[in-house]
Chains A and B, each alone.
Chain A
Amino acid sequence: MNYRLPAAGAAVVFALCAAAPLAAQDKAAKPQIAPRPLRAPDGHPNLDGIWAFAIDLPPAALKKQTASGVAVERVDQSSRQDATNVPGALPSTPAPAYKPEFQAKVKYLFDHESKEDPVFYCGKPGVPRIGSPRRIVQLPGEMIFLYEDISGDPWRIIPTDGRPHLADASPSAYGDSVGHWEGDKLVVDVTNFAEDGWFGEGGYFHSDAMRVTERFWRVGQNLAYQFTVEDPKVLAAPWTAPPRLVKPSNEPLEESPKCVEADGKLLLNSDHHGQR
């Protein structure tokens, strides 16, 4: 095996500087997204359509070097980031508050995230961790949510015609959802969760009593998304997370490749992903 020194840093920085104009040209060439009407034919807010990918991805950019030049592409992760000053958003806090007797457990899970988080091992993120849907199909009396996720490509069918929760559904990662309109917001009430998941990366475990309320509304051409988690067994109070703004997209959905986790046995410590 023959190792060698990597390219000099200064040369790479120079290459990146040179790459910027090309990257800008590439972005300018992407097809425009047609404006979407704010209202559906039935008068409710129009949430229908493809929305930006909202699953967390690595923050790196990609430098492509070819004979014709250098370009840098980066991933727009704005749909996964907390937004501020979102009209219609509820007051929020950055993190949930656990009851005193569970604070040691949530800290342990956070500190050992690499080994303890089921999502790291191809587990389903569930609601609300999966975030906003990639595609919403808005029908009279029903909303269909489609997602792309490394664990598979889940879907949810959410009645909005007044039907109650299913009486005999088994607990699941995405729970049982029913929706209704409150003014210009779609409010989705989700119950009946399997209790082996986390509702956030910070070791946010929950019980079978978790209830999630998701809210979706339009802010101009964007989709606003915010959720509240209630779990009277483990949380000291309901937690309303900061809102997110999701851009419209014209990128078609694709089937996610199968998930084959092979890293777990190679982890030599319990660093969570924020540590280095």
Chain B
Amino acid sequence: MQTRTSLASALVSLLAIAAAAWAHHSPSAEFDMAKRVSLTGTLTKIDWVNPHIVAFLEAKGADGATENWRMESNPPAWFRRVGVSRNDLAKGIGQTVTVEGNRAKDGNLYMYMLKITFADGSSLELVNNAVTEASTQ
């Protein structure tokens, strides 16, 4: 397996905060917030459930074997309020997509999804308030 991770740029740290200060469990107790990883595969399913939506991805491992990844992200109520419905993600089912996020610390094929890029090049990405606030000044 070929694994390359971010060199912990300040920006990535800021982005990680996006999932860190909510009133659910601490992502740092479950995910490696210092590493942002990326993988490409086929989106197979979207579960629009609380407390986190869950996306499922089928990807190939370094040995060619199929890996089934489970990727949670923010809650449905959050997505609704930034103008994203289940259909906006489910449109990618069956397509090749690229996902970035923080992988589970226990090594399972599980991550906190921060960004998804669809086959047509469009993308949805969680970004930190601090960054966006700065961008508007």
Contact = CB atoms under 8 A, between A and B. Distances in A.
A2 interface: yes
Given A3-B38, A9-B11, A16-B132, A266 B110 contact: yes
29 contacts: A1-B2, A1-B62, A2-B2, A3-B3, A5-B5, A12-B11, A13-B131, A16-B131, A16-B132, A16-B135, A17-B135, A20-B135, A24-B136, A59-B128, A61-B128, A61-B132, A62-B82, A64-B84, A65-B123, A65-B125, A120-B25, A148-B77, A150-B50, A150-B51, A150-B77, A260-B49, A263-B30, A268-B106, A273-B24
A266 B106 contact: yes
A224 interface: no
B44 interface: no
Contacts of A74: 82, 129, 132
A58 B122 contact: no
Interface in B51-70: 51-52, 54, 59-62, 67
Contact of B50 (A24, A72, A256): A256
Contacts of A120: 24-25, 51
Contacts of A1: 1-3, 39, 59-62, 67
Interface in A255-276: 256-264, 266-276
A6 interface: yes
A268 to B, nearest CB: 5
Contacts of B60: 1-2
Q: Which of B16, B77, B106, B128 has the most CB of A within 10 A?
A: B77
A16 B134 CA distance: 9
B87 interface: no
B129 A61 contact: yes
Contacts of B21: 58-59, 273-274
A62 B83 CA distance: 9
Q: Mostly helix, strand, loop or mixed at chain A's interface? A: loop
Interface stretch (A40-48, A49-57, A161-169): A49-57
Given A6-B12, A259-B50, A270 B29 contact: yes
A269 B24 CA distance: 14
Contact of B78 (A19, A57, A274): A57
A60 interface: yes
A119 interface: yes
A75 B17 contact: no
Interface in A127-141: none
Interface in B3-58: 3-6, 9-12, 16-26, 28-30, 33, 36-40, 47-52, 54
A16 B125 CA distance: 11
Interface in A225-276: 254, 256-264, 266-276
A47 to B, nearest CB: 23
Q: Which of B5, B24, B39, B74 has the most CB of A within 10 A?
A: B24
Given A58-B18, A64-B124, A201 B6 contact: no
A256 B23 contact: no
A267 B29 contact: yes
A66 interface: yes
Contact of A258 (B50, B100, B123): B50
Contacts of B136: 20, 23-24
A234 B130 CA distance: 38
B104 interface: yes
Contacts of A58: 18-19, 21-22, 74-75, 78, 126
A62 B126 contact: yes
B49 A6 contact: no
Nearest to A59: B129
Contact of B72 (A2, A76, A263): A263
